[in-house]
Structure 1
Amino acid sequence: MIANELNGHQIVNNPTNYSWSFNLSSPQNKKQTEQSDKFAFDLCYENPLSGDLVLVRSQRTGKQAILKADALFVLKHCCEFRTIESHIQQISSKFAELRSNPDEVRQVLLTTRDAGLLISHQEIINKLSASTAESSPEAVPIICIPTCDRPDALQRLLFSIQENCTPNEFSHCIVIDDSRTEESRSQNEAIVQKAQHTLSFRVIYFGLSQQKQLQSALVALLPELSSEINFLIGNDQSLAGVTHGRSRNFALLLSVGQNVLLLDDDILCQAIDPPTPDNSVEISLSPREAEFYGLKEDWPHQKPATNSNPLTPHTQHLGMPLSTTLQKLTYRDKNKNQLKIESTNAIEQLNAQSKILITACGSYGDPGTSNREWIYHLPEATRKRLYESEEKYHQAKTIRNNWLGRSGYHLTNSITLISQITGLHNNTLLPPYFPLLRNEDYLFGEMTRFIHPDSLALDLPYAVPHLPLEKRECHPLEKQFLINPGFLRITGNFVADKKDIAPSNEASSRLKILAYLFENLAATPNKLLRNALKQQIMEIRTVRYNSLLQILQESPDAPDFWKEDIKQLTSIYQSALTTEDELSIFDIPGASDETELLDYMTTSWRQFGKALLAWPQIREAGATIIKKGLLK
């Protein structure tokens, strides 16, 4: 039974057990939209009323309506942009009790659309692509190559830059030496000295003595911030673990006011097309695609992209507003290319002025991690290709040789974790990296999104060869999954959980709030902190466990060899979820018990919080020192 009271702005639909109630703030009698247009339920604030009613208000437009709670529950499954008919099919597949009432479901969707809560894909595209003030062309970027004990790889990379790039496309190249051995440092310096005479671009060696020189100069300018400076860029050889973040902090200080491209030292600076390139432009939260190979010779095409220079695409888009980028990408090569927006979740904070602060690209070869958990969380089409043969699946588990990237241009308000070339728009205030441990890029990405909530990362549709010279092995299956996450992963999750607490849009104000967040974490009593950490770990495990179960459910026709591995891995997570274990963070160095672990974490958060407060001054002082000629 359906009752419609259009003049009173209230519509009640009662298909089976679901009832829907709308109380519109103003009538929105729109003409019937083209059948081909797509719609999605907007992100809304929810305010419970008496009974089972909820007042919902669009976060984007302020349009509001009163809905029955069960109606809202169904509509929240409509956040992906689909045609009305596609939404009806999806609702019918998820809610068996609504399958016999497609006309009533259609009426509810149309009413929701007319209320302004089901938004048009085309209208969103028009708004995000709307012209803004013309952006000034950015100056050529700086290349920074952090390197650690890989002289042969460094030499190979420098020659690769010479072969594939033209010198006028970047200002200069800085080799930031983070090597642990004197032998490697001497070899790296000799390689750079030779390159200065043989290569056509300017190469600067920034080794231990140069790093100490910058550190001393900063302390001389800001003596009251000496401990913060030393924490971010100090070279304490007694510290255990990797120091990727430290070398990247040098890159940020050496490039203030410019775009900077961070190149992994074990790549070739050469752009290769994805296996099946397309002309799409997508805004979504979807993961990267992948293909798996037995040998390097199995890579498709075996030829570079149309433009083999992998640096140019980064420089074309870093710092650009979204509208400018969309206009460039959707009308490039005199062809109008398709723009697809996945869902309202993907555009939660975005507007036409949102800037691209981070650029990334894919890779062929080594994936950069010995943990193969990621292969089970790939998009559905990629998963099907993965298990189409047992041999290919075995290769994926045991051979570190794959393509990981995008077939088309991909924009996201989330952050890409791994990229062998990363572009940073260092003209704006970016946070420093945490100087120690792995996953520094994940924490940096979450902090960047906290400081600039409407910012974007652009994942480019090309890949570079990632070819470590040292032999690397995959972990066996039973060690594929890290049940206990690392320190910076958990820290990044704490930041992500608080990203909506700061009302200010000013980056400097939000950086201060972020610093206070770290100081508050450091001041949390051990008992409360332990509970918070256990909850974070439990949430990470739960998400992964549920994801594996969903993937298994979505793959009824998958072969048994793949299903058995998924079942084995879900049982590992299930055991971890149901067993009360000791608090464990897998990468805390030197922590023999829980007290030492908590002490390391709180001390690190306290130091980093102070460093974040000091960072704008340190950053400005670094720019002053560089202008005075430190790199000459």
Structure 2
Amino acid sequence: MADNYNISYSYQTGPATTPAPAVNPADNELITFTNCERVDLGNGGVLLLNRDNGKQMTISPEVATALTYCNTFKTLQEHANTLISTIPQLQGQLEDVTKVLNMVKDAGLMLSAQSICDRLSPDPIPAAELAPTRVCIITCDRPAAVERLLDSMLRAGSLSRHDELLLVDDSRDPANGEQNRELIAKFNLSSPKNMHYVGAAEQHKLLQQLIAAIPEHEAAIRFLIDRERWAQQKSYGLARTMCLLLSVDYRCIVLDDDVLCSTVMPPNRGDGITFGKGSNRELACYASEHELFQNAQFSDTDPLSGHAQCLGMNLSQAITQLDAGGINQTTLHNTGATMLDTLQADSPILVTQCGSWGDPGTTGTNWFIGLDPKSIVRVLAAPGGLPGTLDNRHYWLGRNNPDISKMAVMSQVTGLDNSQLLPPYFPIFRGEDYLFASMVVCLHPSAAVVDYNWCVPHLPLEQRGGRNAAREPIAAQIGLASCARYLTDRTDFEMGVAPETRLQKLALQLQELSQRKAGSLLATLRNGLALEHADQLRQLSQQLQQAPELGSQDWETYLQRGVENVSGALQTPTNVLDIPGVPAQLTEEELLMKFKTVMGEFSTALAAWPAIREAAATITGTMLECGDLAP
């Protein structure tokens, strides 16, 4: 096989001269091409080295490129059909393509779905010991929402099973903070488990005690949790980092204040589990809040117990918990191999998430371009069609099946296994959840995320929607999500490196960014945004190809406008001053210098984070015991 580098598909442009090979009905093994290193031999050949089994094969560059299209689990015949329909030069060459794929498979360069099933479901595997749970509510100037949530928690029950209940109050108006404190005191009169109040004074006390315990890390502590430092900014991540400091060595369940403590099952519930669906959740649409409630399928499970179900388990345990029948190769059909190849039976479930029932929680609508065909059909059939659905925001947005993936996405209730080393959140700006998710992958490359197939009611009290959302820009903008991609693209998936070592490496990566010259930094930001735009353009093009089958001019117009918007963004140099939240008076040079400074500070905070966590575990324990967090 080593000398067979002239394998070719005999690219021909005319009709097929040979018949398609007969398909053996029994040949239904699902395979994929993955985890192979490519070495250019300089003599017209390419050496492929399989990193998992040590197998190797020399082939032509054309074959090596074509194999990259075989990156999901399919039958060999399905892969062959994909190649001849995707690569114009291969049309009419089904027999030749099938023959070469068989040679690659026989050489040991293909990964079978059954081998993944065997690896993830060994019998037996020791059960992971689960840490106790703490529940944190985060709020900012919404006492009416807090009162509604607390009432729903009392009705949900099962509160006494959690180690602690805490409200982390980021309110800027002291009157709202005082009202929240009173609501907690009232809640405690009826609750079987008292809730603690962590407002401005309590957070400042924790800040001061951390500085006193580890004064060498004062700058890092202030960057992460000093409310005065970020008083003029929306500090979404600061409150979440506070939750982590209050729950070191525990599993932490974090709730937004505008949810209800209940769960809604999917309207089109599926069987079994799925893998690697990522951010592409399913969508069902309703014309009004009345119709939303009329069609709701509420569950007896409260979201706190629901999140604790799999949080902290190993993957094998979680699979058994979510699907007693286990998985087989059919479960993995069309699933991406890259993600699955990083998972093991003992991969920890470090993050759990769920869907949204009501308002989706995100201000943008560009996620519509990633919807699956069935969801798009439901959007177009809903009253008001696409424009009405984009504006009214009465959705069920979640999973029909529990899904296991690598990267967490936005969730109004999130489970975090903080008994493991998790990173802090970036204190300000939107996109803090994406950056956090990317850093979790960097620290724990074999870990997994469970996205449950139920939603929590997310019903903001303030009016949202009605903004002619169909006309909103679709092209991505620079933000924390861009930084998340930068880190994810540089993740080292080699096993055996300790999370503490990976955290220091992550800190050094951000330090390196902070030390670059402004021009180099700007080029990096623009390159990252161009990659995001290229991904969007790919999604839009795929949707446009399928759009005529749906018979909706509104949908085609929306997609075409998206193509024009994203294509225009790709042709125009990125203006970093367009980043949401940037002060209008800043120049480009000033903004880049500010970015460098903040990245350097965050790098310092990451390096100090293990020491901050350790000190916080002791300090918060003492504050709880002494009643310092009583309302």
TM-score (structure 2 length as normaliser): 0.91
Partner of residue 61, structure 1: 53
Contact 1:331 1:337 in 2 (8 A): no
Structure 1 pair 615–133 and aligned structure 2 pair: CA distance change class (3 A) = same
Structure 1 pair 189–253 and aligned structure 2 pair: CA distance change class (3 A) = same
**Amino acid across the alignment from 2:156:** N
Q: Please list, as runs of the form range in 1=range in 2, the aligned pairs for 1:129-168 lying within 5 A after superposition.
A: 129-131=121-123, 133-168=125-160
Contact 2:224 2:605 in 1 (8 A): yes
Q: Please list, as runs of the form range in 1=range in 2, the aligned pairs for 1:279-294 lying within 5 A after superposition.
A: 279-286=271-278, 287-294=280-287
Partner of residue 308, structure 1: 301
Partner of residue 321, structure 2: 328
Partner of residue 601, structure 1: 595
| Alignment counterpart, residue 71 of structure 2, candidates 79, 84, 88 | 79
Say whether 1:520 aligns with 2:512.
Answer: yes
Aligned residues: 611
Q: Please list, as runs of the form range in 1=range in 2, the aligned pairs for 1:361-380 lying within 5 A after superposition.
A: 361-380=354-373
Partner of residue 114, structure 1: 106
Partner of residue 625, structure 1: 619
Structure 1 pair 576–302 and aligned structure 2 pair: CA distance change class (3 A) = closer
| Alignment counterpart, residue 163 of structure 2, candidates 151, 171, 183 | 171
Contact 2:116 2:340 in 1 (8 A): no
Structure 1 pair 301–39 and aligned structure 2 pair: CA distance change class (3 A) = farther
Contact 1:147 1:175 in 2 (8 A): yes
Structure 1 pair 580–280 and aligned structure 2 pair: CA distance change class (3 A) = same
Give the match's secondary structure for 1:311: helix
Contact 1:371 1:475 in 2 (8 A): no
Instruction: For 2:296 and 2:378, locate their aligned partners in 1 and report how far apart those are by CA, in whole Å.
Output: 23
Contact 2:266 2:297 in 1 (8 A): no
Partner of residue 194, structure 1: 186
Instruction: For 2:544 and 2:457, locate their aligned partners in 1 and report how far apart those are by CA, in whole Å.
Output: 32
Contact 1:390 1:561 in 2 (8 A): no
| Alignment counterpart, residue 450 of structure 1, candidates 442, 461, 478 | 442
Structure 2 gaps, min length 5: 13-23
Partner of residue 559, structure 2: 566
Q: Please list, as runs of the form range in 1=range in 2, the aligned pairs for 1:224-303 lying within 5 A after superposition.
A: 224-236=216-228, 239-286=231-278, 287-299=280-292, 302-303=295-296
Structure 1 pair 239–205 and aligned structure 2 pair: CA distance change class (3 A) = closer
Contact 1:358 1:424 in 2 (8 A): yes
Instruction: For 2:171 and 2:506, locate their aligned partners in 1 and report how far apart those are by CA, in whole Å.
Output: 31
Show CA shifts across 1:338-393 (max 9, x none). 73361212213222221111000001111112211111221233223322467231
**Amino acid across the alignment from 1:567:** Q
Over the residues paired in the alignment, what is the CA RMSD in angstroms? 2.5
Structure 1 pair 455–54 and aligned structure 2 pair: CA distance change class (3 A) = same
Partner of residue 26, structure 1: none
Partner of residue 21, structure 2: none
Say whether 1:612 aligns with 2:606.
Answer: yes
Q: Please list, as runs of the form range in 1=range in 2, the aligned pairs for 1:443-522 lying within 5 A after superposition.
A: 443-477=435-469, 480-481=472-473, 483=475, 485-500=477-492, 505-522=497-514
Contact 1:277 1:407 in 2 (8 A): yes
Partner of residue 425, structure 1: 417
**Amino acid across the alignment from 1:156:** R
Contact 1:259 1:426 in 2 (8 A): yes
TM-score (structure 1 length as normaliser): 0.91
Structure 1 pair 293–111 and aligned structure 2 pair: CA distance change class (3 A) = same
Contact 1:359 1:458 in 2 (8 A): yes
User: Alpha-carbon deviation of 1:72?
Assistant: 1.7
Contact 2:390 2:470 in 1 (8 A): no
User: Alpha-carbon deviation of 1:284?
Assistant: 1.4
Structure 1 pair 513–581 and aligned structure 2 pair: CA distance change class (3 A) = closer
Instruction: For 1:340 and 1:301, locate their aligned partners in 2 and report how far apart those are by CA, in whole Å.
Output: 35
Instruction: For 2:89 and 2:518, locate their aligned partners in 1 and report how far apart those are by CA, in whole Å.
Output: 49
Instruction: For 1:82 and 1:484, locate their aligned partners in 2 and report how far apart those are by CA, in whole Å.
Output: 32
Say whether 1:401 aligns with 2:394.
Answer: yes
Give the match's secondary structure for 1:143: strand
Contact 1:275 1:300 in 2 (8 A): no
In terms of mean alpha carbon deviation, does 576-585 or 318-327 score higher? 576-585
User: Alpha-carbon deviation of 1:407?
Assistant: 0.5
Contact 1:215 1:230 in 2 (8 A): yes
Show CA shifts across 1:203-255 (max 9, x none). 11111111111111111101111111111110117633311111111110111
In terms of mean alpha carbon deviation, does 435-444 or 587-596 score higher? 587-596
Partner of residue 208, structure 2: 216
In terms of mean alpha carbon deviation, does 252-261 or 222-231 score higher? 222-231
Give the match's secondary structure for 1:524: coil
User: Alpha-carbon deviation of 1:132?
Assistant: 6.0
Show CA shifts across 1:400-457 (max 9, x none). 11111111010111x2321011000101100000111111100000011111111111
Instruction: For 2:135 and 2:329, locate their aligned partners in 1 and report how far apart those are by CA, in whole Å.
Output: 31
Partner of residue 348, structure 1: 341
Give the match's secondary structure for 2:111: strand
**Amino acid across the alignment from 2:94:** P
In terms of mean alpha carbon deviation, does 481-490 or 536-545 score higher? 481-490
| Alignment counterpart, residue 206 of structure 1, candidates 187, 198, 217 | 198
Instruction: For 1:63 and 1:34, locate their aligned partners in 2 and report how far apart those are by CA, in whole Å.
Output: 26
Contact 1:271 1:463 in 2 (8 A): yes
In terms of mean alpha carbon deviation, does 59-68 or 365-374 score higher? 59-68
Show CA shifts across 1:293-313 (max 9, x none). 111232387454443312223
User: Alpha-carbon deviation of 1:131?
Assistant: 3.8
User: Alpha-carbon deviation of 1:143?
Assistant: 0.5
